[in-house]
Amino acid sequence: AASHTMAKVALLEQESAIAGETVLAELQFEQPLALCEQDKLLLRDPAQKHNLASAVAIDLAPPNRGKRKPERIAYLQKRSTLQQPAAILKHLLHHHPVDSRTFAWQHQIHSAQLTQLLPQDEMIQQAGPYLFSANYQCQLQQQIVTQLERFHQKSCDEIGVGKARLYRMSALNQPQDIFEQVLAQLLLNGEISNTRGWLHLANHQLTLTEQEQQLWLAIEARMNQDLNPHWVRDLATEFDLAEENIRQLSYKLAQLGYLSAIVKDRYCTYQQLHTMADLTREHIAQYEKVETAEFRTLTQLGRKVAIQILEYFDRIGFTKRKFNYRQLRDSELLKD
């Protein structure tokens, strides 16, 4: 049975159309219609006295922006010439991943039939319900590597980023399942390394000299006596060394993942951060959030330094601030 609803018509290629002309247009319905791709539509005037046009549904989930960009128009023009699901699927995979569940529903085919429609002349991979091409995988791999390169250039005192943050940096709005699979391949290939939960380029590595190693062991033992971050100048005074020497060593230790800069020239060890992260995780697991005053009680830190730690947690993506409290964003960060 036919369904009826009002709709706004927006032409995508031009401002007007004449009788008999074929154009691309977007229909915005006042009431939802249970459409499948290739369904036929009849457009009539509001009084339902005159037929204005006929239409075929070719894209049920258009983007919110860039609807009239040349590349978008070219994509739709090519799509409008295709009728068979196999040809449509191949076209879609050339441009973006395809959710196999959505495609099967839109074309009213059983999921078991979908494998028979896959292009035989291309390598198509699957992550969860998503299908994607080898070209898309290469592009995403390059995007991940590029974002890590930029991070290393800008943040020389941090070893890397957490997985959730890397996803937001390099693959936001892309399927999480695909990102996880592509990242796993990069780790397996050795292009990216995981150091205590921090993801970084494999070549972003340093080593300590024997003298630096001995000094670091002494600094680490001192810093881990409590949860307070330490200033470079205080460590220099305590160990009777030049402040610049401690600063350069701190940069190196940060790149190795042993230290993290909370603010410029003020550092925490990984163990300190791990302990504070565990306290935060346990508190949020029980109360669903943590306020600054509660974090101060948990860590026995002063107000200013507690705020610096919480802002650092926000920055690396471990927590996110909402009003005057924090919630977990990536609970897997700072775990053994």
What is the sign, positive or negative, of the torsion defined by CA atoms of 285, 287, 293, 298? Answer: negative
Question: Residue 163 class from Cβ within 10 Å (0-12 exposed, 13-18 middle, 19+ buried)?
Answer: middle
Mean pLDDT estimate for the chain: 93
Q: Check whether 123 has a pLDDT greater than 60.
A: yes
Q: Give φ, ψ of 190 to 5 degrees.
A: 85, 10
- What is the pLDDT at residue 48? 80
> Encoding tokens for residue 166?
């890397």
pTM for the model: 0.79
Q: Examine the pLDDT at 47 and tell me if it is beyond 90.
A: no
Determine the Cα–Cα distance for residues 62 and 83; give it in Å rounded to an integer.
Answer: 18
Is the pLDDT at 260 greater than 70, yes or no? yes
The mean pLDDT of 187-198, rounded to a whole number, is 93
The pLDDT tens digits of the residues spanning 125-165 come to 999 999 999 999 999 999 999 999 999 988 877 889 999 99
Q: Which domains does the chain have, with CATH numbers?
A: 1-81 (no CATH), 143-201 (1.10.10.10), 207-335 (1.10.10.10)
What does the pLDDT average to over 309-328? 95
Q: Please, what's the largest Cα pairwise distance for the chain?
A: 93
Q: Identify the band that residue 1 occupies on the pLDDT scale cut at 50, 70 and 90.
A: low
pLDDT, tens digit, 9 for 90 and up, residues 215-230: 999 999 999 999 999 9
